Structure 1
Amino acid sequence: MKATIERATLLKGLSHVQSVVERRNTIPILSNVLIDATADGQLKLMATDLDLQINESVAAAVDTPGATTVSAHTLFDIARKLPEGSQVSLAAAEGKMTIMAGRARFQLGTLPRDDFPVIAEGELPVSFELPAETLKQIIDKTRFAISTEETRYYLNGIFWHVADDGAQPVLKAAATDGHRLARVTLPRPDGAEGMPDIIIPRKCVAELRKLLDEIDGSVGVSLSSSKIRFDLGQALLTSKLIDGTFPDYSRVIPTGNDKILKIDPRSFEEGVDRVSTIATEKTRAVKMALDRDKITLSVTSPENGTAAEEVPGDYAASGFEIGFNSRYLLDILGQMEGDTIEVHLADASAPTLIRENDKSPALYVLMPMRV
């Protein structure tokens, strides 16, 4: 194969595919990117870790069509360091790839394209479209609650399912690590009816989120009970789904929390952030003392001392104290928009519900800590 491509175009394409490639691989070819130069002036790039696969097409001047595989990270590092605006020539023959740009010349070892594994997609019977902005919102408002505990592997992703909420069918996305829960509800997209319950793995979510920053329109979503594919125009992301059953999270969403605090999320967030400056790994707890229209945030650390701050809020129920993990609370507050949020409390040991209002698509549940 022989092709010439602009450095910026090559770099952008490689930046998308190389991040899927694991740094350490027991199977050498998984460290490689498959480069396929086609007669219609496309350079097709593909990388996989056997669970996640990304395909990207970029425009190139193809002299000789052909395909080979070469180290993804090495090629990406070379492209990054080549002079801006340069034309890059790629030529592969007899187990070697020659890369030339300006006065620079590199030669890398290749592995045959026939050995390169491809995720067989099979039938993806459910397909629908989601605006890129909506997908970003789903990811940003839930991703922080994904569990990193490998033993409960079924929590290592975002759970998507469709439901009939009252009159309107909806698509719900939820993530939890057992300490907090994040859920986003949106109208069910056309074509998503009959969709199986799926859990999208954390790595797929991270790669998808990176790609979404460059997309304006809609993203095509196709899925079966075991795989999902996102069509982002030039890029195609295919992932296996987590094979497990997500717990019935609706049971932990409190419905009878009658003590309601209305508060400005920014001043609340800044107050929690300030007092938790002295918190340590062991004592992440921030204590909230609720009185009529006055909330006192405090942290006590045996090593560092104490911190307290009063934050104004609208609260009319009986006063009490409750503790939260400050980092978890900040993660939730960081996703809040608007001037006021509602914090629905019951007592010091019951789950707390946090949302902007009863119309907002996102809802959060946080388990308290003993303080």
Structure 2
Amino acid sequence: MRFTLSSSTLNNRLQILARTINNKSSITILDCFLFEVKNGMLSITASDSENIMQTTFQLEESNEDGSFAVPSRTILEAVKELPDQPLVFDVNITNLTVEITYQNGKYNFTAQNASEYPTIQSVPEDANIITIDSKLLYNSISRSLFATAQDELRPVMNGIYFDLTTDNLTVVASDGHKLVRSQITSVNNNIPASFILPKKPASLLKNILGHTEEEIVIKFHEKSAEIKYADGFLICRLIEGRYPNYNSVIPQNNPNELTIDRKSLIGALRRVLPFASESSQLIRFHIDSGNLELTSEDMDFATSAKENVICDYNGRTMDIGFKGGSLYEILTNLDSDDIIMHLADPSRAGVIEPATQPENENILMLIMPMLLND
């Protein structure tokens, strides 16, 4: 079997798929990429047994169909240093030898039998279906990943929750200290349904969705989901269990409103955070009309910092503490120029929203306060 393709195309596809493969797999064949040539198209598959990712593209030339598995490290090292040029694969399916010829040389190595590669288990026909714009899905996943937990006792908190209702699709992530809720108003369903996407497939999707502008189709059932995009798909196992009622933890009446330039606040946080206690990362906010004062202190090393930032504030004078690292993550995962913080008192969660919501989205982030020692 002989086929020809571009070295840069192959390298780009392999680099994305390689993130699926585990460094140490107990199943030897899962250290390989599965190559399948059919009707002039090449499909390449990578798997870690829980996640299966496949990409398909047109070959420049091919003379017959066939399939084989290639050790991932071998093929990745072979093509990543090559400048863009045609690669000619000559594969003997019988004795599993592979020869790759390029402009100034060639590689020879042994393939694995494709029949040893696990078969792809498709999602059942009665699955729920979501069709969503790739940019909306990319934005929702990107701004949610940082808020997922690493909790062995509550595995449902370790993923991103997709809650499909008759009104919208809500994407939620929380670790108990911070929460992200993105409502996508352009997506809804007659029958409510939900699933929890683990962190690894969410990260794999994030890397793909940033390069495509087409609609994404998500089919999901109780235990698995299939996400189809422009030139391939991802099938993954879902986290089973019941996600907590996220709406119940979002305060409905935080009357004190702070409007501030997001980048100015990020800059101030960057400057005062190094002077905070390394263990607590406590940043104290003193807020009154037109001014936000940020202070940090580390008693053990006798360090402290203070900075004032201009703001708009409608509310009573308040002192409230936040974990600086968590607040910094929230601010860097928002895009708007200005943000609004809705506050009630020093013991209740603060709600942060972009001053201007993106089209077809409603974004809210929540951060729990830290106790202040007056």
Q: TM-score w.r.t. structure 1 length? A: 0.92
**Corresponding residue to 2:199 among 202, 208, 212:** 202
Amino acid at match of 2:50: D
Equivalent residue, structure 1, for 2:364: 363
Gap regions ≥5 residues in structure 1: none
**Mapping for residues 195-274 of structure 1, pairs under 5 Å:** 195-274=192-271
- Whether the 8 Å CA contact 2:165–2:190 is kept in 1: the answer is no
**Corresponding residue to 1:330 among 319, 328, 331:** 328
Amino acid at match of 2:352: I
**Corresponding residue to 2:304 among 292, 306, 326:** 306
Amino acid at match of 2:215: S
Tell me the percent identity. Answer: 24
- Whether the 8 Å CA contact 1:7–1:86 is kept in 2: the answer is yes
* Alignment partners' CA distance in 1, 2:20 and 2:192: 27
Equivalent residue, structure 2, for 1:48: 47
* Alignment partners' CA distance in 2, 1:303 and 1:118: 59
Equivalent residue, structure 2, for 1:290: 287
Equivalent residue, structure 2, for 1:130: 132
Task: Determine helix, strand or coil for the equivalent of 2:154.
Answer: helix
Count of residues in Structure 1 that have an aligned counterpart in Structure 2: 365
* Alignment partners' CA distance in 2, 1:98 and 1:151: 49
**Corresponding residue to 2:338 among 312, 337, 340:** 340
* Alignment partners' CA distance in 2, 1:78 and 1:58: 20
* Alignment partners' CA distance in 1, 2:334 and 2:82: 42
* Alignment partners' CA distance in 1, 2:162 and 2:313: 35
Residue 195 of structure 1 and its aligned partner are, at CA, apart by 4.6
- Whether the 8 Å CA contact 1:287–1:324 is kept in 2: the answer is yes
- Whether the 8 Å CA contact 2:2–2:88 is kept in 1: the answer is no
Deviation string 1:6-43 (CA, Å, 9 cap, x unpaired) is: 111211221222211111111101111110112x1111
Residue 341 of structure 1 and its aligned partner are, at CA, apart by 2.0
* Alignment partners' CA distance in 2, 1:248 and 1:289: 32
Gap regions ≥5 residues in structure 2: none
* Alignment partners' CA distance in 2, 1:337 and 1:11: 32
**Corresponding residue to 1:151 among 125, 150, 153:** 153
Cα 1:304–1:206, aligned 2, differ >3 Å: closer, same or farther?
farther
**Mapping for residues 120-199 of structure 1, pairs under 5 Å:** 120-124=121-125, 125-164=127-166, 169-189=167-187, 192-199=189-196
Residue 45 of structure 1 and its aligned partner are, at CA, apart by 0.5
Instruction: Provide the aligned C-alpha RMSD in A.
Output: 2.0
Q: TM-score w.r.t. structure 2 length? A: 0.91
Amino acid at match of 2:49: L
- Whether the 8 Å CA contact 1:157–1:202 is kept in 2: the answer is yes
Task: Determine helix, strand or coil for the equivalent of 1:43.
Answer: strand
Deviation string 1:336-370 (CA, Å, 9 cap, x unpaired) is: 33343221112222111111259661001101123
Equivalent residue, structure 2, for 1:36: 36
Deviation string 1:215-272 (CA, Å, 9 cap, x unpaired) is: 1221122222222222112111111111121111111101122222122222112111
Task: Determine helix, strand or coil for the equivalent of 1:327.
Answer: helix
